[in-house]
């Protein structure tokens, strides 16, 4: 059916129940945990409905109830006004329900067409012969309809995360999905890719699909959703029109308390210079990078994704390449060829991808926290376990890691608590400079507030902090000075008092190089 025909039917309300999906009194209990407790949800035809809540609010369990992975212990589910008891994911798919996850599960060595039709291949009647030509043509038609810039015969592994998500959407459409769940689809996307996904999502709505959009990002909700439902601690809190609830009240609904100051910027005594880079460059990545960080100072490093921010930080820490320029630590030129050199000089680095670069997920909290300090905690080659556990416990409590104990596996923690473990890991070493690359990426608003408070406390203790972030309110709210990059070069250095979202965005998109306020 063409987009125009679907839109006509949506506006006319042809063949539609009042709600395409209803869940009433849904309860799901696991040993020792009530993941969902009498929750409710209603999805209208042609609606984009945001579902929000902190990590651990029950959103993932809720998705698995809708898609047939779990069966509820109590409650009813209705699809198009009819009560259903899902027998499994295939049954949910037959009813037109599909889920698209943040981390795409695909077959990287197979083609786009093979991924789209996996499990519902087109087969010639009376034979087992696959109709490849028909499937390639249909796959390409779906990709064209979604505005994709790649071909159906490409291998899945050659695509970006955003392109793989388009394939997942095409797969849902190929199975005639009418209820589409999008779980944190923008978490790993650039600003441009987010805009592309927004456009596709709106086209899906125009085509008659009803969408549950799960996100931690307020901008996703305001950009797309008609209504928002909030879960907290496995319970249904409420449903509002997106424009009928304030940001402040939405945060209270999500975290159960008023976050009076999301960015707790403390007045700190800014001391002597602790880090300075001069003329730093890496061919093909960045050039002419000059800035400094002082004790107790938070320097924000921002710009559009692809501007070179992370590459600069990785070069300072000895991970990434640099072929020119100098790095000074406490006024002395430093030779940094590898991370061990940087750490010996008092520089710590919190990577953007905590799960791949910052943690060992199948290790305990204690082992992750103390990993950089094993030499200090060992005697004659043997680790002093009591000393190790004491340090881990002290830091886990100091940073408010929520767990039953320091022997819990890190992989069992929420995203916000995993991030706190990475910060605790940094603090086991004697550091002067902390490089924090997207410290709140993929964590909920409650965890963000806690991490912001930790960053403020660290600055107050005298650490020099280089904060990399894509979120402009975060950069403006926390930083003393802000360095803006575009295409591998610094385009502005702004003092906190003069920085606005408009001035930062202008500098991030401006070709000319300028410096304002405090010197580099």
pLDDT at 275: 96
Alpha helices in 266-329 (DSSP H): 309-317
Q: Which of 429, 425, 417, 436 is nearest to 479 (CA)?
A: 436
Confidence at residue 197, expressed as pLDDT on a 0 to 100 scale: 86
Helix axes 445-460, 247-255, angle to 10 degrees: 90
What's the helix, strand, coil split of the chain in %, to 5?
35, 25, 40
> Do the strands 286-294 and 273-282 form a parallel or antiparallel pair, or are they unpaired?
antiparallel
Q: Give the pLDDT of residue 306.
A: 72
Spans of the chain below 50 pLDDT: 1-15, 512-520
Output the pTM of the full model.
0.62
Q: Confirm if 368 and 401 have CB atoms less than 8 A apart.
A: no
Cα atoms in the Cβ-side hemisphere of radius 13 Å centred on 234: 12
> Residue 101 half-sphere exposure, CB side, CA atoms within 13 Å?
9
Residue 58: the pLDDT is 87
Tell me the CA distances in angstroms from 327 to 34, 330, 391, 399, 513, one per residue in order: 52, 10, 31, 30, 22
Task: Please report the pLDDT score of residue 513 as a whole number.
Answer: 45
Helix intervals (H) in 323-444:
339-344, 365-370, 374-377, 385-398, 415-426
How far from the centroid of its chain's Cα atoms is residue 433's Cα? Answer: 25
Q: Which of 136, 137, 191, 188 is nearest to 165 (CA)?
A: 188
> How many angstroms separate the CA atoms of 453 and 477, rounded?
12
Q: What digits encode the pLDDT tens for the residues 435-473?
A: 998 888 767 677 777 788 888 888 998 999 999 987 777
Decide if 499 contacts 505 (C-beta within 8 A).
no
Say how far apart CA 409 and CA 10 lie, in whole Å.
48
User: What is the rounded CA–CA span in Å between residue 100 and residue 92?
Assistant: 14
Comparing CA positions, the residue from 45, 17, 96 lying closest to residue 226 is 45
pLDDT of residue 55: 67
Taking phi first (over 0 means left), then psi (-120 to 50 degrees means alpha), and beta for anything else, what does residue 451 get? alpha
Q: Which of 250, 293, 315, 268 is nearest to 446 (CA)?
A: 250
Query: In sequence order, what are the residues at sequence separation of 6 or more whose Cβ sits closer than 8 angstroms to the Cβ of residue 119?
Result: none
Buried b (16+ CB within 10 A) or exposed e, 287-322: bebbbbbbbbbbbbbbbbeebbbbbbbbbbbbbeeb
Residue 132's contacts (CB-CB under 8 Å, 6 or more residues apart) are 113
Residue 101's pLDDT is 81
Distances (CA, A) of 158 to 83, 109, 164, 177, 249: 42, 9, 9, 26, 43
Domains, the chain, in order of start with CATH, read 1-96+215-257 (3.40.50.300), 259-346+431-520 (3.40.50.300), 360-429 (no CATH)
Radius of gyration of the chain (CA): 25
């Amino acid at each position: 059916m063409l987009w125009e025909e679907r839109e006509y039917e949506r506006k006319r309300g042809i063949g539609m129940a009042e709600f395409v999906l209803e869940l009433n009194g849904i309860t799901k209990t696991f040993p020792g945990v009530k993941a969902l407790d009498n929750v409710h949800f209603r999805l209208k035809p042609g609606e984009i409905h945001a579902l929000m809540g902190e990590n651990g609010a029950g959103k993932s369990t809720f998705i698995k109830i809708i898609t047939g992975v779990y069966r509820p212990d109590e409650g009813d589910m209705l699809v198009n006004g009819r009560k259903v008891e899902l027998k499994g994911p295939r049954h949910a798919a037959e009813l037109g329900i599909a889920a698209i996850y943040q981390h795409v599960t695909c077959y990287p060595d197979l083609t786009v067409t093979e991924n789209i039709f996996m499990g519902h291949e087109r087969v010639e009647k009376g034979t087992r012969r696959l109709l490849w030509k028909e499937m390639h043509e249909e796959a390409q038609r779906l990709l064209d309809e979604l505005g994709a810039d790649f071909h159906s015969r490409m291998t899945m592994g050659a695509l970006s995360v955003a392109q793989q998500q388009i394939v997942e959407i095409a797969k849902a459409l190929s199975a005639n999905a009418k209820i589409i769940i999008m779980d944190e689809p923008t978490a790993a996307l650039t600003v441009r890719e987010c805009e592309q996904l927004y456009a596709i999502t709106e086209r899906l709505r125009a085509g008659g699909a009803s969408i549950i959009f799960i996100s931690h990002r307020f901008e996703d909700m305001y950009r797309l959703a008609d209504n928002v439902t909030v879960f907290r601690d496995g319970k249904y809190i409420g449903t509002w029109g997106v424009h009928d609830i304030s940001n402040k009240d939405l945060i209270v609904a999500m975290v159960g308390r008023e976050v009076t100051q999301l960015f707790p910027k403390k007045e700190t005594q800014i001391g002597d210079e602790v880090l300075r880079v001069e003329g730093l460059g890496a061919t093909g990545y960045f050039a002419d990078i000059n800035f400094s960080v002082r004790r107790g100072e938070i320097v924000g490093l921002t710009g559009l994704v692809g501007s070179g921010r992370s590459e600069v930080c990785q070069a300072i820490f000895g991970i990434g390449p640099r072929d020119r320029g100098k790095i000074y630590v406490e006024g002395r030129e430093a030779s940094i060829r590898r991370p061990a050199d940087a750490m010996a000089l008092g520089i710590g680095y919190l990577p953007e991808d905590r799960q791949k670069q910052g943690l060992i997920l199948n290790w305990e909290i204690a082992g992750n926290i103390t990993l950089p300090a094993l030499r200090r905690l060992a005697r004659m080659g043997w680790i002093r376990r009591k000393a190790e556990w004491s340090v881990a416990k002290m830091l886990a409590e100091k940073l408010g890691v929520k767990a039953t104990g320091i022997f819990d596996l890190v992989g069992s923690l929420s995203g916000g608590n995993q991030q706190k473990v990475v910060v605790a890991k940094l603090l086991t070493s004697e550091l002067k400079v902390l490089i924090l690359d997207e410290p709140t990426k993929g964590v909920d608003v409650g965890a963000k507030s806690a991490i912001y408070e930790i960053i403020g406390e660290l600055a107050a203790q005298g650490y020099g902090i280089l904060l990399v972030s894509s979120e402009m309110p975060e950069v403006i709210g926390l930083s003393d000075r802000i360095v803006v990059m575009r295409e591998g070069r610094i385009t502005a250095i702004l003092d906190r008092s003069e920085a606005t979202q408009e001035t930062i965005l202008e500098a991030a998109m401006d070709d000319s190089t300028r410096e304002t306020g405090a010197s580099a």
